[in-house]
A and B are shown apart, each in its own frame.
Chain A
Amino acid sequence: MDIKNVTFAYQDGIVRVKDVSFSIAKGKITTIIGPNGSGKSTLMSLLTNNNKPQSGHIYLEGKDLNEYRPKELAKTLAVVHQYNVAPRDMTVEKLVYYGRLPYKKMFQQDRSEDAEIVQWALKVTGLYERRHMLIENLSGGQQQRAWIAMALAQKTPYLLLDEPTSNLDIYYQYDILNLVKQLRDEQGLTIVMVLHDINQAIQFSDAIIAMKDGEIVAQGDPKEIVTKELMQEVYGVDVVIKEDEDIGMYMVPLGV
């Protein structure tokens, strides 16, 4: 995925993404970080084609996002949004079946192939036993897994996650991040996500994109780019960064 000179402003005229360019490596986890209002969610909305760049281009597999037909795009790129709604009486399995929507023609029934893929997605996310439960009866973390399962059922090489760990307790934060890692390793997915927690970003990403005021401040290998200076510049926070033999690199915030 290649992003070339992308600029975007909402109707209020404030430019949220300024002339941003970067590439996303295939089969890797790329994480976008940055303070509130840095434009990371806006950038995500551009990558997911929910907003269109005012200038610049986003290429997916060499083809401009604008040239994709809606279903074709949905077969290439799946998204788990930050806020999700489902009807109260929808079961997990039924939700996951929505992932097959891009493969269906109008009024077409589910085929056996769809059933197999839904089953696979439920198993990968560990929800197979709970497939007949109602979404609203699942815990927050399991709900997040259900939405990921729906995205997996789209059978896309790309998976984009907007703040997949926000509003989850620490157990499920790591539970979801482990699942994301597993999807990269076992399914070979290219993953782009937005995270708030820097340590999680360091731990789970192959590449980090740090944003501030709509611009990219640094991008690359977390070990190289996450520095005391960068944290000061991006977040205005004093940190110490340590390297530990067992747990690798980590950051401790000290104050503002």
Chain B
Amino acid sequence: MNKKIVSMLIVLILLPLAIIYSATTGSIDVTAWELVKGLFTGADENVNIIKDLRFPRIIISLFAGAALAVSGVLLQSVMRNPLAEPGIIGVSSGSAFVTLVVLTFFPTLFFFTPLLAFIGGALAFLLVYSLSWKSGLNPLRMILIGVAINAVFTGFSELLMSSNASSMMQSVSVTHSTLTMKTWNDVQIIVIYGSLGLLVAFFLNAWANHLSLSDATLHNLGFRVNLARFVISVVAVLLASIATAVAGMFTFVGLLVPHIGRTLVGSDHKWLIPFSTLAGALLILIADTIGRTIMAPLEVPASIIMAIIGGPFLIFLLRKSDRIYGH
């Protein structure tokens, strides 16, 4: 019990600290006090720039991180696979591809991107799910299928980008998250859909817990396994697609955060989902802040920072994945 509370408190304390640090650090440096003062008076030019450029970015980082981490938790529960993650199994690249298609060919549909990204993510998810169903959702096989689906969608995206140089700028921001040039419009989309998805996810914690038992056991407890799976999957795909549509592709967040969460607060989703929300938000914010300060004035995309941390971690997880969920 203690470890759970301490872990939650630590992320709760680190999160505002990281937000303040991120808001005050960068090409324009202000002190925390100047920032607060400037926000209230509106007279400080620097703070106004930060408000327009850095704040959207911070908010988007927070929501994207939370959404991807919780999406990972939910997918792992639905697929009973500790390696399921929206980036790895192709949900994110499905979303990214559809988003890219929309931005390239139908720019006027911009406001429907969340919906279209969701369709792309759901398509990828359905493919992986149905193709690995036959092998009893075998964890490693599912990952291999996911990798293949991911490669196909990524390939399509690259194809689209190389054949259409004019929209290059926008395209890059979808496939490689840079989180630059984000506006309050983007914030609006991710805050609305992201909060909705996260809220539903909190309420689904009991269902996500139930899915740790076998289908047959749950069936004989009168639990509607397939209904629960469907609902949880929809929420997971929604969260991942929104994050991808607005913030671009991130891998490993949905893997790293839930796994750390399980060791710190346990596998009970009542704790795991709130923890992953906070820790995911923290992780992407830190990654983005490091990315834009480490080689300033050059920017390293947050997704690249994540990939550098996440890759080795995935190998580590694969090595011990046998023990997770008792497979």
User: Per-position contact with B for A85-126: 1 when CB-CB < 8 Å, else 0?
Assistant: 111111000000011011000010000000000000000000
Give the contact stretch, choosing among B167-175, B216-224, B305-313: B216-224
Closest CB of chain B to A83's CB: distance in Å?
7
Across the interface, A87 reaches (CB within 8 A) one of B212, B217, B220, B221, namely: B212
- Residue contact A154 to B221, C-beta cutoff 8 Å: yes
Mark A57-95 against chain B: 1 for CB-CB distance below 8 A, else 0: 000000000000111111101110101111111100000
Residues 308-327 (chain B) with a chain A CB within 8 angstroms: 323-326
Q: Are A50 and B220 in contact (CB under 8 A)?
A: yes
B111: CB under 8 A from chain A?
no
- Indicate if A49 sits at the interface (CB-CB under 8 A): yes
A194 → chain B, closest Cβ, in Å? 14
Q: Shortest beta-carbon distance, A108 to chain B, in Å?
A: 10
Known: A87-B325, A88-B267. A101 touches B221 (CB 8 A): yes
B-side interface residues, number (CB < 8 Å):
21
Given A89-B266, A101-B210, are A79 and B220 also a contact pair (CB < 8 Å)?
A: yes
Q: Are A85 and B222 in contact (CB under 8 A)?
A: no
Determine the distance from Cα of A87 to Cα of B210 in the docked complex, in whole angstroms: 10
> Does B14 touch A at the CB level, under 8 Å?
no
Min CB–CB distance A191 → chain B (angstroms): 15
Q: Is the CB of B222 within 8 A of A107?
A: no
Contact B214 A77 (CB under 8 A): no
Residues in A whose Cβ lies below 8 Å from that of B266:
89
Residues from chain A with Cβ under 8 Å of B196 in the complex: none
B216 touches A50 (CB 8 A): yes
Tell me the bound Cα distance from A73 to B223 in angstroms: 11
CA distance A90 to B214 in the complex (A): 14
Q: Which residues of B contact A79 (CB under 8 A)?
A: 216-217, 220
**Do residues A89 and B222 form an inter-chain contact, with CB atoms below 8 A?**
no
- CB-contact partner of B206 in A70, A99, A107, under 8 A: A107
Tell whether A144 is near chain B: CB-to-CB under 8 Å. Answer: no
Interface string of B182-222 (1 = CB under 8 A from A): 00000000000000000000010010001011101101111
Q: Return chain A residues, CB-CB under 8 Å to B268.
A: 89
Q: How far is the CA of A48 from the CA of B217 in the complex (A)?
A: 10
Q: Are B267 and A102 in contact (CB under 8 A)?
A: no
Are B267 and A78 neighbours in the complex by a CB distance under 8 Å?
no
Name B219's closest neighbour in chain A (CB-CB): A50
Give the one of B203, B220, B224, B267 with max A CB within 10 A.
Answer: B220
Q: How far is the CB of B100 from chain A (nearest CB, A)?
A: 38
Nearest CB of chain A from residue B314's CB, rounded to whole Å = 20
**Set of chain B residues within 8 Å of A86, measured between Cβ atoms:** 212-213, 326
Provide a sorted-by-A list of 25 A–B residue pairs whose CB atoms are within 8 angstroms: A49-B219, A50-B219, A72-B222, A73-B220, A74-B220, A75-B222, A81-B214, A81-B216, A84-B214, A85-B325, A85-B326, A86-B212, A87-B212, A87-B326, A88-B325, A89-B266, A98-B210, A98-B213, A98-B217, A99-B221, A101-B210, A101-B223, A102-B221, A102-B222, A136-B326
> What is the interface of chain B, defined by CB distance below 8 A to chain A?
203, 206, 210, 212-214, 216-217, 219-224, 266-268, 323-326
Q: A98-B213, A99-B221 are in contact. List 8 more A-B contacts (CB 8 A).
A: A48-B216, A74-B222, A75-B222, A81-B214, A85-B213, A89-B267, A98-B210, A154-B221
In order of increasing CB-CB distance, the 9 nearest A-B pairs are A74-B222, A71-B222, A102-B222, A79-B220, A70-B222, A87-B212, A101-B221, A87-B267, A85-B326
